[in-house]
Amino acid sequence: MRTRWRSLAASTALLALIAAACGTPGGGTTTTTAAPTQTTAAPGGETTTTQAPTTGELEPLRIGVLQPLTGAIAASGNDAKDGWELYWQNHPTEIAGRKIEWRVEDTGGDPDTALQKVDELVQNFGAEIIVGELLANVTLALADRLADNPDVLFVVPIGSADDMTQRRRDEFPNMIRAGGWTSSQTSHVLGDWAYEQGYRKVATMCTDYAFGHEMCGGFVHVFTYRGGEVDPSQQLWNPLGTQDMSTYVTQLADMDVDAVFALQVGGSVGDFLTNWHDFGLKDRIPLLGGEVLLDNSNIRNLPPEVVEGLISSGHWTEGRDEPTVTEFVELVDAATGKIPSYYVAATWTAAQYIQAALEALDGDTSDKQKMIEAMQGFELETPFGISRMDSYGNPIYDIAIRRVEVRDDGRVWNVPVEIYENVDQFWPFTPEEYLQQPVYSREFQGNLSVGEPAAGG
């Protein structure tokens, strides 16, 4: 009996570790957790797509795509894979005389697996371009590994850790965020919009890890810069993988604020929004969502009355009435039966950039810096609208304030309410001002309504 007890206690401790490692869905985290379960959960699951044998004399261009196709965030990873594959199903796979060949590998959301797979892709498959990943910690691990290899171009369409194209830009000379974004980029805009609506005091409810800190910080910084107030005691932080959000929602209900900014990931999104509705707050307090809170992947399975009318900001707006967007949405819907999430749009756009660079350089991919330069010169019509690059390798988009609406077919999507044009990652500040302040963290939210004004204000 005693040994049984001990083994149960040991199993519990093991599970605590597993849960901590598994429960990290969403845009990113900078903590690297060794997760043995993730690696065991991720065998097989790879897709090899080899085009017909090469006809020309030129070497094919080999591209390795790394996404989490199994594990807790597999749904988003598979969306990313869909976007990539749908692009090449609908575009020529021979550009400037070079065949495009690619392999999609599963990282299981684990940095160690990703590093192992990337070595294999570069050394054995001969990948010249790596496209990946979804989680910030995995993306950073890959960026570090590839930084020393000038023969590989690293394209980051999803992983959004701010500093990769900000304070740590110089560490990753061969990286570019084609089709990507920085976490705080879209919430900067929402901070401005909230102030314009007359909101003066806002509480926040964000997930307690790097991605949550950055999205929330972006909002708080610009909102307080405009003159709004955010009391640090009204900034609630919940751990990743929180099972029951009712406690937090109850607390928010008791706060005397004009609006609430929220960012959740994974299962906490549905929990939070359902509680928000069920406690009767949806009609009482305006809710402002960070981009992924109301991403189509998170809202498509929720009851429409829970999400209809909610506001967020985003570089991806599936209900935007522009030909490039509607064509893309219809194409993806026809192929997958789902209104696309931003993950689909992101890898699609990355593929678009790669095609454009290949055409511009007439198939010569030997110098990766030239590819980056070429990409920075483009102005592409993408599912995100017009996409240009700033000098740090991060896209400039028209970013929309979006509202969730129910379509005629009963499904939900985000439609634009207002559009902020040409928003870069530093908006509304200059890069010089902005980069003087530290990266957003739980301690530094850019909150100008309390304490010392930060640089950039």
Residues that bind another protein (CB under 8 A): 1-5, 7-9, 11-12, 15-16, 18-19, 22-23, 25, 37, 40-41, 70-76, 78, 208, 236-239, 241-244, 246-248, 250-251, 254, 266-271, 274-275, 277-280, 297-298, 300-303, 305
Q: Is 193:401 a contact under the CB 8 Å cutoff?
A: yes
Around Cβ 435, how many Cβ atoms within 10 Å? 18
Whose Cβ is closer to another protein: residue 279's or residue 378's? 279
CB of 12 to another protein, least distance (A): 5
Strands 153-155 and 129-131: parallel
Backbone angles phi, psi at 192, to 5 degrees: -65, -45
CB of 37 to another protein, least distance (A): 7
Triad 312, 317, 319: Cα angle to 5°: 110
What span, in angstroms and rounded, lies between the C-alpha atoms of 268 and 121? 34
Whose Cβ is closer to another protein: residue 28's or residue 456's? 28
What span, in angstroms and rounded, lies between the C-alpha atoms of 350 and 371? 13
Whose Cβ is closer to another protein: residue 298's or residue 365's? 298
Q: Please give the structure tokens belonging to residue 45.
A: 């699951």
Of 234, 66, 235, the residue nearest 158 (C-alpha): 66
Pick left, alpha or beta for residue 403 (phi over 0 → left; psi -120 to 50 → alpha; otherwise beta). beta
Q: Please give the structure tokens belonging to residue 431.
A: 């890069």
Strands 380-382 and 311-314: unpaired
Whose Cβ is closer to another protein: residue 267's or residue 431's? 267
Of 418, 423, 442, the residue nearest 434 (C-alpha): 423
Whose Cβ is closer to another protein: residue 83's or residue 266's? 266
Whose Cβ is closer to another protein: residue 8's or residue 450's? 8
Whose Cβ is closer to another protein: residue 227's or residue 280's? 280
Whose Cβ is closer to another protein: residue 95's or residue 332's? 332
CB of 4 to another protein, least distance (A): 6
Whose Cβ is closer to another protein: residue 256's or residue 452's? 256
DSSP letters spanning 196-252: HTT--BEEEEEESSHHHHHHHHHHHHHHHHHT-B--GGGEEEE-TT-S--HHHHHHH
The four Cα atoms 387, 390, 395, 399 give a dihedral, to 10 degrees, of -80
CB of 271 to another protein, least distance (A): 5
Q: Is 26:84 a contact under the CB 8 Å cutoff?
A: no
Of 295, 259, 251, the residue nearest 275 (C-alpha): 251
CB of 69 to another protein, least distance (A): 9
Whose Cβ is closer to another protein: residue 181's or residue 272's? 272
The residue whose two tokens read 């039966």 is 337
CB of 398 to another protein, least distance (A): 27
CB of 277 to another protein, least distance (A): 7
Q: What is the DSSP letter of 365?
A: -
Around Cβ 72, how many Cβ atoms within 10 Å? 22
CB of 247 to another protein, least distance (A): 4
CB of 95 to another protein, least distance (A): 33
Q: Is 399:327 a contact under the CB 8 Å cutoff?
A: no
Amino acid present at 290: G
CB of 71 to another protein, least distance (A): 7
Integer CA distances (angstroms), 445 to 160, 249, 413, 450, in order:
17, 21, 30, 11
Whose Cβ is closer to another protein: residue 40's or residue 50's? 40
CB of 102 to another protein, least distance (A): 23
